[in-house]
Structure 1
Amino acid sequence: MNITTRIIARLHALSEAAMVLNSTLDLTQILNKNLSYILDILEVDRGTLYLLDPDRQEIWSRIITGDGMEEIRLPYGSGLAGAVAVSGEAIILDDVYQDPRFNPANDQKTGYVTRSMLVLPIMNQQQDQIGVLQLINKRNGVFTDSDQEFAASLAGISAVAIENARLYEESLRSASIKKELSIAREIQSKLIPTTLPDIPGFELAFRYEACSEVGGDYLQLMPLPDGSQLVIIADVSGHGIPAALLVSTLHATVESHLESVSSLEKLAAMLNNLIYRNSTSSTYITFFALILHPDGTFRWLNAGHPSPVLVSGSAATLPFEASGPPLGMLRDMKYEEQTSRLMSGDCLALFTDGITENFNSSEDMFGEEGLGATMIRCQKVPGSDLIESVFQDLNAFTNHAPPDDDRAILVLRKA
């Protein structure tokens, strides 16, 4: 396999893994699927994915055997995997018998000969270590820095799925639906920003309010290598844990491709086919993304999402129409990327339909017209005050009726 083919295969594996690993809450499946991806792509003979148990100072794993499932446990510091659990530093060995930390007991018991080994920590989004990945005997040659980088990337993707599964396993200890929804809310809340980045020349403000039933709203701002900013707002169909899981999948997939996001069209097409292949026919994601440059120009793409409201001067417009259906509805969809520009004083509001699809006692809808009217009235006030006015107007319009959907809005204003 030449270098180009190998790189393409590894990128494809990362994409598939982000979708598949985040599509289940079965921790055993996640551990074994993740390991299977790594063994196949890196052409490795054996491997184990351990999780840390800080309370017992042990690393442990579940492996599928011919008789069912087996749990194995090792104390911190035992062998090479135990050493990485303590140090948090990766180890690459061409000859394990030259390292005194290697325990040859299993080789002596089974007759198997361990030659090379790659052992690395698994880190979550907060850069806390949650596990250890141990790979044994690369079939062709020895482990390389490139192998370590790929294994670390896939392990990072799996970390999101592992933590989701752990949260869910905790919820299974209680039959309470309230507990289950609380877990789903926790999964989703990790994917809504608590603070916004400081982007010179722009004012940003946002607000997210959850309804009593967990929805699938998603909002993220991510810096790109060229200094631009990727902004995504999305809304997953349905509620509860399935919606929260799909939001988690979306986030993990996008994050795994940040270094190569050059085309929103390619990103949307890839996300669409992944969701189509791995979700039910009733599952989809409305999706709006833009890449913002310092001069105010931005490339944008809309897949079935409500058009953001643009206020320029005294006019509120909806110029960002969808070029295709929501992600996951149809296979092999092609979406159109377009370019626009924010001028000084222009204000752009990205939102989910929990903001606009609210009705009063006369069955009139607040809609984009209501949102645009509030934005025009509040052009001169800070973004946070503008959003506060939106929620005040919305609550007055509905007579403070409790919402039946999450509400998310991001305001972006060019200085």
Structure 2
Amino acid sequence: MSDHAQDDAATLRRHLDVLLGITRRLASEPRLDPLLESIAEETCNLLDAERATLFLYDAARDELYSRIATKSEIEVIRMPADRGIAGSVARTQACLVISDAYADPRFNRDIDGRTGWRTRNILAVPMTNLQGNLVGVLEALNKRTGPFADADATLMRALADQAGVALERARLLEEFLAKRELENEMQLAQRIQADLLPEAAPPIDGFDLAGWNQPSAYAGGDLYDLFPWGDGRVGLMLGDAVGHGVGPALLAAETRALVRAMALREDRPERILADANRLLAADVEEGRFVTLALAVADTADGTLACASAGQGPMLLVRSDGRTERFLATGLPLGILPDAQFGAAEPIRLESGDAFLLISDGIFECETAGGKELGFDAVVETVRNHRDGSAEAMIQALRALTESVCPSERFRDDRTVVVVRRT
């Protein structure tokens, strides 16, 4: 074997040993951010480059994105997947060797301006997964010993193949862990939400009471309660803490506790809403709020007083089939500390009359055709079951939603509270 051939063989073995070491190091790092740093570092070492940049491919947005160090901060840049040198590589999945970056019209000079760095030459290669799908583009910048050569492209393509597989594995792991964390959070939120619900309606002479809540898969912040208010009265509340997950569930729990405590010393629902609102507005973070309907029914005279903080409509169904809607009024709790809440005129419930608090998850659920069920369908169903018990009305509404709305379309909690005078 000639000396030249021996040198080539030695170089090849050395490169293979280096690539094998890189492969092992990349395989040992399951986290995405450290993996990105490792790939950039290994690229610079392997190709004697001053810097390396990784552009990851966002298939959902058909964009390439990368984190760059500007003069003042770490900044994420995004661009269409067909723009620039990286975009050209992404589209063709072929290597590009650029000997003079500023002479190439595809080069984006703005990035140099933001980083305070000057790019001279570039070697760019695609990164793909085992199925050959694009994962991103790897760029080596400014070879210290001259321009990039074909041998550099071969080496970097081998490195990029390993990097693409490692990145895909890390991305899938991140997605799995994020999904598991979300599932754990949702399970916790659902447990909190379940603990808010009354085990049974309190026995109150002259009234038939029932409540029902079916959390969505997204664990919203619906709450309801039925509780003795003292002196032969019963309290009814239904609310919705905005959002999904643990945060709204905890806010719903706080709201329920506040209202219950205030009902021990205050008779009028609108005053309780005002007091609870002041406390919540000072306590909850911006963007969090609760809609709430609060009512009190009195067994002595059959009257019902109610107030709303952005929650409604509420529904009155008379024994003869007449109905009346009470629309949502007032701001949700937790937005403006000095908000005031009005009260509707007291309603006198006669025998067979029913008053319902209904969450928007009932009448806004989507039918198979993608349309909302609508409140009219709710009214008609309750009217048709007005001679039944409070529980029978709830079961009729439950059956209605489940008959017209496929289960996968229940993206919000369904909650109903009924008080019916016997």
Asked if these proteins are the same fold (TM beyond 0.5), I'd say yes
TM-score by length of structure 2 reads 0.54
User: Structure 1, residues 15-66: CA drift from partner, whole Å, max 9, x if none?
Assistant: xxxxxxxxxxxxxxxxxxxxxxxxxxxxxxxxxxxxxxxxxxxxxxxxxxxx
SS at match of 1:190: helix
SS at match of 1:195: coil
Contact map agreement 2:316 2:324 (CA 8 A) in 1: yes
**What amino acid sits opposite 1:322 in the alignment?**
A
Q: Which residue of 1 aligns with 2:323?
A: 316
Q: CA RMSD in A?
A: 2.1
Q: Which residue of 2 aligns with 1:271?
A: 276
Alignment match of 1:367 (pick from 361, 374, 379): 374
**What amino acid sits opposite 1:186 in the alignment?**
R
User: Structure 1, residues 102-151: CA drift from partner, whole Å, max 9, x if none?
Assistant: xxxxxxxxxxxxxxxxxxxxxxxxxxxxxxxxxxxxxxxxxxxxxxxxxx
SS at match of 2:236: strand
Alignment match of 2:331 (pick from 304, 325, 328): 325
Matched, 1:226 2:231: yes
Contact map agreement 1:233 1:350 (CA 8 A) in 2: yes
Alignment match of 1:356 (pick from 352, 363, 378): 363
**What amino acid sits opposite 2:258 in the alignment?**
T
User: Structure 1, residues 185-235: CA drift from partner, whole Å, max 9, x if none?
Assistant: 111211111211111111122221111111111111221232311211111
**What amino acid sits opposite 1:323 in the alignment?**
T
- d(CA) in 2 for partners of 1:344, 1:227: 17
Q: Which residue of 1 aligns with 2:348?
A: 341
Alignment match of 2:309 (pick from 299, 303, 310): 303
Larger gyration radius, structure 1 or structure 2: 2
Write the mapping of 1:212-291 to structure 2, written as runs, cut at 5 A.
Answer: 212-291=217-296
CA-CA distance at 1:317 after TM superposition: 2.2
CA-CA distance at 1:251 after TM superposition: 2.0
SS at match of 2:264: helix
Q: Which residue of 1 aligns with 2:34?
A: none
Aligned CA distance change for structure 1 residues 223 and 400 (closer, same or farther; 3 Å): same
User: Structure 1, residues 153-197: CA drift from partner, whole Å, max 9, x if none?
Assistant: xxxxxxxxxxxxxxxxxxxxx973322222221112111112111
Aligned CA distance change for structure 1 residues 383 and 259 (closer, same or farther; 3 Å): closer
- d(CA) in 2 for partners of 1:305, 1:280: 20
Matched, 1:397 2:411: no
Q: Which residue of 2 aligns with 1:137?
A: none
CA-CA distance at 1:256 after TM superposition: 2.7
Matched, 1:209 2:218: no
Q: Which moved more, 1:285-294 or 1:331-340?
A: 331-340
Aligned CA distance change for structure 1 residues 193 and 322 (closer, same or farther; 3 Å): same
- d(CA) in 1 for partners of 2:379, 2:322: 8
Q: Structure 1 residue runs of 4+, over 4 Å off?
A: none
Contact map agreement 1:356 1:367 (CA 8 A) in 2: yes
Q: Which residue of 1 aligns with 2:197?
A: 192
Q: Which residue of 2 aligns with 1:406?
A: 413
- d(CA) in 2 for partners of 1:188, 1:239: 11
CA-CA distance at 1:257 after TM superposition: 2.3
Q: Kindly tell me the number of residue pairs found equivalent between the two proteins.
A: 242
Q: Which moved more, 1:234-243 or 1:193-202?
A: 193-202
- d(CA) in 2 for partners of 1:207, 1:175: 29
CA-CA distance at 1:400 after TM superposition: 4.3
Structure 2: 5+ residue runs without aligned partners? 1-178
SS at match of 1:391: helix
- d(CA) in 2 for partners of 1:276, 1:199: 34
